[in-house]
Amino acid sequence: MKIKLGGYGILKNYVGPPENAREIELPQAKSLKDILQEMGIPDGMVMLISVNDEQKNLDYVPQEGDEIKLVPPVSGG
């Protein structure tokens, strides 16, 4: 199963930007939490997950062709 994974801000360093999302081949179904852990993305670094433009949580199990965008926590001043 193939999915596309892209991120904003610091997450681009792990998965690339959404406009140039990384295509990932998953040999078996697993949750987004498991996928992000395997990619070395630290816990708490993802604030929002969008799958095909719908908000999902870390328990979501991606389906064939899903386009996933990751958003880090936002800070400002």
8-16 mean pLDDT: 93
Domain ranges of the chain: 2-71
CATH superfamily of 2-71: Beta-grasp domain (3.10.20.30)
Query: Tokens in use for 38?
Result: 């395997």
| CA distances (Å), origin 9, targets 13, 61, 71, 74, 76 | 8, 24, 7, 9, 13
> DSSP letter at 28?
S
The total of other beta-carbon atoms located within 10 Å of residue 2's CB is 11
> What pLDDT score was predicted for residue 74?
82
Q: Above 60 in pLDDT, residue 77?
A: no
Under DSSP, is residue 8 helix (H, G, I), strand (E, B) or coil? coil
Q: Per-residue pLDDT for 52 more than 70? A: yes
Q: What is the pLDDT of residue 75?
A: 67
Specify the DSSP class assigned to residue 5.
E
Average pLDDT over residues 65-70: 96
